[in-house]
Amino acid sequence: EEQHKRNIELSTELQDRNHTAASISRFINVMMNITVIGTAAWLVLNNELTAGALIASVLLMRRAVAPVERSITSWKTLQNAKAAFKNIDRRLNLAPEFSQQPPLPLPAGYLSVRKVSFGYSNRGTPTLQEVTLKVHPGEVIGLTGNTAAGKSTLGRLIVGLAKPDSGYVRLDGIDVSRWREEDIGPRIGYLPQSSELFAGTVEENIARMGEVDEQEVVNAAQMSAVHEMILQFPQAYKTEIGEDGSFLSAGQRQRIALARAVYKNPKLLVLDEPDANLDVEGKIALASTIEIMKSRGAIIVFISHQEKVLRFADNVLRLRKGKVTMDLKFNTKKTAATEASPGTTSLATDAKKSAS
């Protein structure tokens, strides 16, 4: 909390300095214009300077002042670059410490978020304020709320892409920041709100641009019901998809990104608006994937602003302005091999009804 306030104070101080420098620059520019034009006009009236020379003097003065103005306006960029360099240097200095840590046991999947608060330096109000949740293996938790409620930020904190200002995010009782990337990476699946693919083949993207395990790639594609679609491509899994997946439609990119998220059966799966750009078939495939992952004991965090698509979740947290305003418990304990009573349906069936 104190660090967050300090960051806000430094940001405000930097903005004040930039505004002061810009004001001084404009004042000097105006005074130089007045001085040059006034002097040149006086000389013209005394027949000591021609009108053409007056115009030339004004143009030359403006060209002479332009580099000074640009240097002042570039001050903020220079300060941001300096701060970024310090941040990179600090992280690089921490690298030897991380590399010396003994490897931790592979996570089983228990997730605990305790009084987590987080804020961006350019915002006065924290994005998240004392959020708490617990999720056990084989459970689906939904996060819902209006735009800018903090849902996506919480998802990034859970997978370790950001560190909370206060509180903690733990997997199996260990802070996610303590896990080595090579240990925790394969155990986490993340589908961000804006899914990005990379220049390469379909199988390389599903394998997260690492060493391709062809069987695991096919397993992930089949689980996310995208295998048949990939086989229709010119070279199937070897098909080049272009920069940012430009050769694919938005729906195809989303479904391949889902296959990438479930590659090698992660223990923690975070899906941020995963049904965006999906047609009915894609939404059914998404629900089926969640059902399979749940039956395998994975923790699934499903983020959506539409509460109706979260009805298959075990619990739903509603966020508003960074705070949990409601905890809805649906008690829909369903698995892929549902021990169905006559009224019980699968997640895929729920998705089909919702889509229709």
Mean pLDDT, residues 266-277? 88
Largest Cα–Cα separation, the chain: 105
Percentage of the chain modeled with pLDDT above 90 = 21
Token digits of residue 264:
């090698």
Taking only the tens place, the pLDDT of each residue in 169-203 is: 998 888 888 877 777 888 889 999 887 888 899 99
Q: What is the identity of the amino acid at 274? A: P
Q: What is the pLDDT of residue 346?
A: 47
- pLDDT confidence bin for 260, thresholds 50/70/90: very high
CA 179 to the chain's CA centroid: 20
Q: Model-level pTM?
A: 0.64
CB neighbours (10 Å) of residue 150? 24
Cα separation, 168 vs 157, whole angstroms = 9
Contact 108, 171 (CB under 8 A): no
Bridge partners (DSSP) listed for residue 113: 133, 169
Token digits of residue 300:
């699934």
Nearest Cα residue to 99 out of 172, 178, 175, 164: 178
Taking only the tens place, the pLDDT of each residue in 117-135 is: 998 877 778 889 889 999 9
N- to C-terminal Cα separation, the chain: 47
Higher pLDDT, 66 or 279: 279
CA 287 to the chain's CA centroid: 23
In the predicted structure, residue 153 carries a pLDDT above the cut 60: yes
Q: What is the pLDDT of residue 339?
A: 35
In the predicted structure, residue 345 carries a pLDDT above the cut 80: no
pLDDT, averaged across the chain: 79
Cα separation, 222 vs 231, whole angstroms = 11
Sorted by sequence, the CB contacts under 8 Å of residue 1 that are 6+ apart come out as: 117, 165, 166
> What would the 3-class secondary structure string for the chain be?
CHHHHHHHHHHHHHHHHHHHHHHHHHHHHHHHHHHHHHHHHHHHHCCCCCHHHHHHHHHHHHHHHHHHHHHHHCHHHHHHHHHHHHHHHHHHHHHHHHHCCCCCCCCCCCEEEEEEEECCCCCCCCCEEEEEEEECCCCEEEEEECCCCCHHHHHHHHCCCCCCCEEEEEECCEEHHHCCHHHHHHHEEEECCCCCCCCCEHHHHHCCCCCCCHHHHHHHHHHCCCHHHHHCCCCHHHCECCHHHCCCCHHHHHHHHHHHHCCCCCCEEEEECCCCCCCHHHHHHHHHHHHHHHHCCCEEEEECCCHHHHCCCCEEEEEECCEEEEEEECCCCCCCCCCCCCCCCCHHHHHHHHHC
Nearest Cα residue to 292 out of 138, 160, 65: 138
Token digits of residue 247:
């050769």
Q: What is the pLDDT of residue 340?
A: 33
